[in-house]
């Protein structure tokens, strides 16, 4: 008796299959990620069901995925010993689109703004199309499966060439779980290669916590003289992925060394990171974050478009490493992994970027990085003096290890962090507290705005700063003379971003920031009556001279004024209150504007 039955795919599936086979060309290899992730899901499901029914494990309690290929038959097979499928489940799950993500995707494609073929290709490439992605490389797929708990006689074989129909028959299958057998297209023979398969697994599935096994091969010389040898299978299986999603393990089970090794594998940095933070976030959206701050800036730190350092996983399957979606630009130096248990696997980058969950993850991760930095800053030796006395009494080994790290961080990444003032309004105050500057009373960039405020002179109403190309130029600027004379500290800013970034910080903790190069510096209460009087008298006395100078410089200077800000120098250039500073003007000129 034949028990083969023909079925038609649901209309959307047929449409999707057509798309898959015609437009996913540029990103063929994702099929393996999809099939391995299904195998991993099937094992997760078995683990879950077995909680109530341990007998489901039968005699195979160790869950695993095996990937094998047969060059002669041109097949690639992915086998798992997970939950498996009954005949009915195979028909339903492999013949219809049940997932809302894919449904949305399909409706977008067939909606009003019909995408062109290339756009479809791009769209679909970014989606995980799940099981059907097998048809990118296969002209026929056979699935053999037996659901855990069903007898061996109730196995199922599902087969399709992806052209609108599939057939299903009952088979005898001893092994629990599923084998997906891909009959590779002629142009997909590259996947009949152990090295190639391992490379793809390494790229997408290294952190699947399930072991992925492949049969070992060894080189065998040909027995016939003069013919080349070949790789032959040895019958021995080896695990080819790391099989450990470090971030899913409890913190207490992970050593510093393991954290550091993991950092090196994801960052391609050979140095240890400066700090890391590993948390499970619960609430509106649940995710695990493992974020690292590197010790050294990479050479391409200033390239805002470079590949991002934070990778998004959904249930341990790599999804994307889109920079802006996961971390704001000013934290682009952060490396790490975010693993969400809520996001759907099959969703496009575009949808992900718009997703509320991703936004929450981004906000949460931003705050986490800022806390990490605050923690380092708190333990930096420069701030030891500002700590509470009772906190200082107990300096743990851990705290000691953090000493000096913030200075190091600042030297490497401070200029990038400053961009946050203009980029992230919601965290501006926290960022402002993390800023460090050199000043007229500190040679190193170690003065925080809090430090500055704490040292302000009686009656001083503003935080004064000067921008220049170099520290020496800043220090020797004639504009500082009056401040030196009065013993007022001035922050010295020499980073290219300072001018722009500080433009976003009108005040710090209620105290305005004021450039000493802008307008007539109002020293407010710091200026005594006698000085004010002298200034006014001088302005009066020099009126005719000033008028002459103004006439002579009329194309070059807006105004010529008498000033009290100079002590030794005869003259200096200043800009109007709301004008561009000379430093910024120079910068823009350099940039050709």
Residue 129 annotated as part of some ligand binding site: yes
Nearest residue to 41 via CA among 98, 9, 75, 85: 85
Rg (CA), the chain: 33
Q: Which does 49 bind (CB under 5 to 8 A by kind): ligand ADP, Mg ion, none?
A: none
The Cα 260–Cα 428 span in angstroms is: 31
CB–CB of 413/333 below 8 Å?
A: yes
Q: Can you spell out the DSSP letters for 132-198? A: GGGGGTEEEEEEEEE-TTS-GGGEEEEEE-SSSEEEEEEE---S-EEEEEEEE-GGGGGGS-HHHHH
Q: Is 95 in the site for Mg ion (CB under 5 A)?
A: no
Q: Which of 21, 82, 335, 348 binds ligand ADP (CB under 6 A)?
A: 82
Identified binder of Mg ion from the candidate list 21, 38, 87, 477, rule CB under 5 A? 38
Contacts with Mg ion: how many residues (CB under 5 A)? Answer: 2
Nearest distance, CB of residue 143 and ligand ADP, angstroms: 8
Q: Does residue 181 belong to the site contacting ligand ADP (CB under 6 A)?
A: no
For residue 265, which of 328, 304, 311, 301 has the smallest C-alpha distance?
311
Q: Which position among 74, 93, 278, 402 is part of the footprint of ligand ADP (CB under 6 A)? A: 93
Which range binds ligand ADP by CB under 6 A, 34-42, 199-207, 399-407, 574-582? 34-42
Give φ, ψ of 444 to 5 degrees. Answer: -95, 160
What is residue 380's three-state secondary structure? coil
Residues 48-67 binding Mg ion (CB under 5 A) are: none
By CB under 6 A, name the one of 17, 32, 46, 83 that touches ligand ADP.
Answer: 83
Which of Mg ion, ligand ADP, none binds 94 (CB below 5-8 Å, type-dependent)? ligand ADP
Judged by CB under 5 A, does residue 581 bind Mg ion?
A: no
The answer to whether residue 494 forms part of the interface with ligand ADP (CB under 6 A) is no
- Residue of 331, 345, 474, 505 interacting with ligand ADP (CB under 6 A): 345
Determine whether the annotation assigns residue 101 to a binding site: yes
Q: Which of the stretches 81-89, 231-239, 491-499, 583-591 binds ligand ADP when contact is defined by CB under 6 A? A: 81-89
Cα 556 from Cα 552, distance rounded (Å): 9
How far CA 227 is from CA of 217, 221, 223, in Å, comes to: 19, 8, 8
134 binds Mg ion (CB under 5 A): no
Indicate which single residue of 130, 155, 294, 309 sits in contact with ligand ADP (rule: CB under 6 A). Answer: 130
> Which structure tokens are listed for 291?
């974020």
Instruction: Please give the structure tokens belonging to residue 198.
Output: 């391992």
What is the enclosing helix (H) or strand (E) of 204?
A: helix 194-204
**Does 131 interact with ligand ADP (rule: CB under 6 A)?**
yes
Q: Which of the ranges 68-76, 93-101, 462-470, 556-564 carries the binding residues for ligand ADP, by CB under 6 A?
A: 93-101
Q: How far apart are the C-alpha atoms of 514 and 456, rounded to whole Å?
A: 14
Q: Which does 314 bind (CB under 5 to 8 A by kind): ligand ADP, Mg ion, none?
A: none
Q: How many residues does the chain have?
A: 593
Binding of Mg ion by 130 (CB under 5 A): yes
Is 38 known as a binding-site position?
Answer: yes
Cβ contact 284:177 at 8 Å = no
Q: Is 499 annotated as a binding residue?
A: no
Region from 92-100, 227-235, 236-244, 469-477 binding ligand ADP, contact rule CB under 6 A: 92-100
Closest to 142 measured CA to CA, from 173, 118, 121: 173
For helices 30-50 and 194-204, give the axis angle rounded to 10 degrees: 60
Q: Which H or E element spans position 303?
A: none
Applying CB under 6 A, the span of 37-45, 405-413, 414-422, 544-552 interacting with ligand ADP comes to 37-45
Helix residue ranges per DSSP H, 238-338: 256-267, 323-326
Residue 93 interacts, among ligand ADP, Mg ion, none and using kind-specific CB cut-offs from 5 to 8 Å, with: ligand ADP
Question: Was 483 annotated as part of a binding site?
Answer: no
The encoded tokens of residue 588 equal 């823009």
Rule CB under 5 A: say whether 179 interacts with Mg ion. no
In DSSP notation, 426-492 reads: GGHHHHHHH--EEETTEEEEEE-HHHHHHTPPTT--SEEEEE-SSHHHHHT-GGGHHHHHHT---EE
Q: Is 178 in the site for Mg ion (CB under 5 A)?
A: no
> Which of 80, 144, 321, 489 touches ligand ADP (CB under 6 A)?
80
Nearest CA among 378, 511, 375, 365 for reference residue 427: 365
Provide the mask over 39-78, with x wherever binding to ligand ADP is found by CB under 6 A and - wherever it is not. x-xx------------------------------------
Contact 517, 479 (CB under 8 A): yes
The residue number with the shortest CB distance to ligand ADP is 130
The verdict on whether residue 126 carries a ligand-binding annotation is yes
- The tokens for 204 are 């997408």
By CB under 5 A, name the binding residues for Mg ion: 38, 130
By CB under 6 A, name the binding residues for ligand ADP: 34, 38-39, 41-42, 80, 82-85, 93-94, 99, 130-131, 178, 345-346
Which amino acids are annotated as binding site for ATP, given as ranges? 34, 38, 80, 85, 99-101, 126-131, 178, 349
């Amino acid at each position: 008796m034949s028990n083969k039955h023909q079925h038609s795919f649901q209309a959307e599936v047929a449409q999707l299959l057509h798309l898959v086979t015609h437009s996913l060309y540029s990103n063929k290899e994702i099929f393996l990620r999809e099939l391995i992730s299904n195998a991993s899901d099937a094992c997760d499901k078995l683990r879950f069901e077995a909680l109530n029914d341990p007998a489901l494990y039968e005699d195979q309690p160790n869950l695993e995925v095996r990937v094998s290929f047969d060059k002669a038959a041109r097949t690639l097979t992915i086998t798992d010993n997970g939950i498996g499928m009954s005949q009915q489940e195979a028909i339903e799950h492999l013949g219809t689109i049940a997932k809302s993500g894919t449904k949305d995707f399909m409706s977008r494609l067939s909606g009003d703004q019909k995408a062109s073929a290339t756009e479809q290709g791009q769209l679909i490439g970014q989606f995980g199309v799940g099981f059907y992605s097998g048809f990118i490389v296969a002209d026929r797929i056979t699935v053999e499966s037996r659901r855990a708990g069903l007898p061996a006689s109730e196995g199922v074989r599902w087969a399709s060439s992806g052209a609108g129909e599939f057939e299903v028959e009952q088979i005898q299958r001893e092994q629990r779980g599923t084998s997906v057998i891909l009959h590779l297209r002629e142009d997909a023979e590259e996947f009949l290669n152990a090295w190639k398969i391992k490379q793809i697994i390494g790229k997408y599935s290294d952190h699947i916590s399930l072991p992925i096994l492949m049969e070992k091969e060894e080189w065998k010389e040909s027995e016939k003289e003069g013919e080349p040898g070949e790789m032959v299978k040895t019958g021995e299986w080896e695990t080819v992925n790391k099989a450990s999603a470090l971030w899913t393990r409890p913190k207490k089970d992970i050593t510093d060394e393991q954290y550091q090794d993991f950092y090196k594998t994801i960052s391609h940095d050979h140095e240890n990171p400066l700090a890391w933070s590993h948390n499970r976030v619960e609430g509106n959206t649940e995710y695990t974050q493992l974020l690292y701050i590197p010790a050294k800036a990479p050479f391409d730190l200033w390239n805002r478009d470079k590949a991002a350092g934070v990778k998004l996983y959904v249930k341990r399957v790599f999804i994307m490493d889109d920079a802006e979606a996961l971390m704001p630009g000013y934290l682009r130096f952060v490396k790490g992994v975010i693993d969400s248990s809520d996001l759907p696997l099959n969703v496009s980058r575009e949808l992900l970027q718009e997703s509320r969950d991703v936004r929450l993850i981004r906000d949460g991760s931003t705050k986490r990085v800022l806390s990490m930095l605050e923690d380092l800053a708190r333990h930096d030796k420069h701030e030891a003096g500002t700590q509470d006395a009772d906190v200082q009494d107990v300096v743990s080994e851990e705290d000691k290890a953090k000493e000096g790290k913030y200075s190091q961080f600042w030297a490497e990444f401070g200029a990038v962090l400053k961009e946050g003032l203009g980029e992230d309004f919601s965290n501006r105050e926290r960022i402002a507290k993390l800023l460090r500057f050199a000043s007229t009373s500190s040679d190193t960039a170690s003065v925080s705005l809090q430090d500055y405020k704490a040292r302000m002179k009686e009656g001083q109403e503003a935080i004064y700063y000067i921008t220049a190309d170099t520290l020496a130029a800043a220090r020797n600027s004639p504009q500082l003379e009056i401040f030196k004379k009065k013993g007022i500290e001035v922050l010295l800013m020499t980073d290219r971003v300072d001018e722009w970034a500080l433009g976003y910080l009108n005040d710090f903790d209620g105290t305005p920031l004021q450039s000493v190069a802008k307008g007539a510096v109002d020293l407010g209460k710091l200026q005594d009556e006698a000085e004010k009087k002298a200034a006014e008298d001088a302005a009066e006395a020099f009126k005719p001279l000033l008028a002459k100078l103004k006439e002579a410089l009329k194309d070059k200077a807006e105004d010529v004024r008498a000033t009290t800000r100079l002590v030794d120098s005869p003259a200096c250039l200043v800009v109007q209150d709301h004008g561009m500073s000379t430093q910024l003007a120079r910068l823009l000129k350099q940039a050709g504007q």
